[in-house]
Amino acid sequence: MNRHLFHRNTPVTGLIVAFTAAVAASATLRYGLMESDVLHGLCAAASDDWRCAARRYAPQLFIDQRIGWLALAAGALAMATRIPMLAAVAVVSGGAGLILYSADYAAAGLLLGLIALASTRSRRSHAH
């Protein structure tokens, strides 16, 4: 295994941090806001609490599996174009989509993004 793969200045490390942050934020959104029994009661009483507003608008991310479709589209485009940024979008949105009720499309997009990244890194290492 390449020792420099996880050097702090590599794009892979940034992607791992972004992926972890997206998954953590999605888990907080899902379990801390969307599925919270305490907030359900608070928001049912027409509260102006910011958490109620977030709870009201957050479903726009996963209605019709939008975040999963984003991951899948970015992954497919990354495979076709080999653009690392598209692959990163697929990986990060795929991680979020796995948590936010869009697992089918998000998983496929995440995998396509990872394959595109691996292919791009492999091509670059063989070119040098």
Mention every residue, 6+ apart, whose C-beta is less than 8 A from residue 124.
none
Residue 108 has a pLDDT of 98
Q: How far apart are CA 19 and CA 15, in angstroms?
A: 6
Residue 62 has a pLDDT of 81
Q: How far apart are CA 103 and CA 57, in angstroms?
A: 20
pLDDT digits (tens, 9 = 90+) for 106-124: 999 999 999 999 987 666 5
Mention every residue, 6+ apart, whose C-beta is less than 8 A from residue 20.
none
Q: How far apart are CA 36 and CA 12, in angstroms?
A: 34
Residue ranges covered by each domain of the chain: 3-127
